[in-house]
Structure 1
Amino acid sequence: MKKQLLLDLAERAGWTGAQAALSLAVVELADVPVWWAAPVALALSSAKGWVAGRLGRKGTASTLPAGADPASLARGV
C-alpha cells in the first residue's frame, strides 16, 4: 500500500473512533438513550469536516499535511 493511502486510512479511522467515543460520552453524560450517539457522531463528523475545510486546504476536509494527503497530491497542490 502507498504511504499516502495508509495515512489517509489512519486519519479517517482515527477521527471516526474519536467521534464515536465522544458521542458515546455525550449521551452517557446527558443520560439519554444510547441510540442518540449516532446523530451526535454525525453532527461531530460534519462539524469536523466544515472546520477542516475552512482551516485546511481548499476543497478538502482532510487534516493531513498537504504532502501526505492523497486529495492534494491528485490535484497537484
Structure 2
Amino acid sequence: MSNKLALDILERSGWTGAEAALGVAITELADISLWWAAPLALSLASAKSWVAGRLGRKGTASTLPESKDPATPPGVGGGATYAQ
C-alpha cells in the first residue's frame, strides 16, 4: 500500500469518526433521540465536503494537500496514482 493511499484512508476515516462523534454529542447535548445522530453526521459530512471543495484541493472534497492527495494526476504537485 502506498503512503498516499494510507493518508487518504486515514483522512477519510478520521473525518467520518469526527462527524459521527459530533452527531452523537449534539444529540446528547440537545437531549433529542440518538436516531438524529446519523442525519446530523450526514449534514456535517456534506458541509465539510463543500468547504473542502472550495478551500482544499480544487475539484475534490479532500482536505489533503495536493502533493499528498492520491487523486492528483501524476506529474502535478508530486501526485501519484493508487497502483504502485
**TM class, shorter-chain normalised?**
over 0.9
Identify unmatched segments of 5+ residues in structure 2.
78-84
Q: Could you tell me how far apart the structure 2 residues matched to 1:27 and 1:13 are?
A: 21
What TM-score do you get using the length of structure 1 for normalisation?
0.93
Q: Could you tell me how far apart the structure 2 residues matched to 1:74 and 1:31 are?
A: 49
The sequence identity of aligned pairs, in percent, is 64
Q: 1:20-39 to 2 correspondence within 5 Å? A: 20-39=20-39
What TM-score do you get using the length of structure 2 for normalisation?
0.86
Q: Greater RCO between the two (CA within 8 Å, min separation 6)?
A: 1
Q: Which residue of 2 aligns with 1:53?
A: 53
- Alpha-carbon distance, 1:72 to partner: 1.5
Counting helix residues as a fraction of each chain, which structure ranks higher?
1
Q: Contact 1:66–1:73 at 8 Å: present in 2 too?
A: no
Q: 1:1-77 to 2 correspondence within 5 Å? A: 1-73=1-73, 76-77=76-77
Structure 1 pair 41–74 and aligned structure 2 pair: CA distance change class (3 A)? farther
- Alpha-carbon distance, 1:76 to partner: 3.4
Larger Rg: 2
Structure 1 pair 74–34 and aligned structure 2 pair: CA distance change class (3 A)? farther
Question: How many residue pairs are counted as aligned between the two chains?
Answer: 77
Q: CA RMSD in A?
A: 1.4
Structure 1 pair 11–2 and aligned structure 2 pair: CA distance change class (3 A)? same
Divergent runs of 4+, >6 A? none
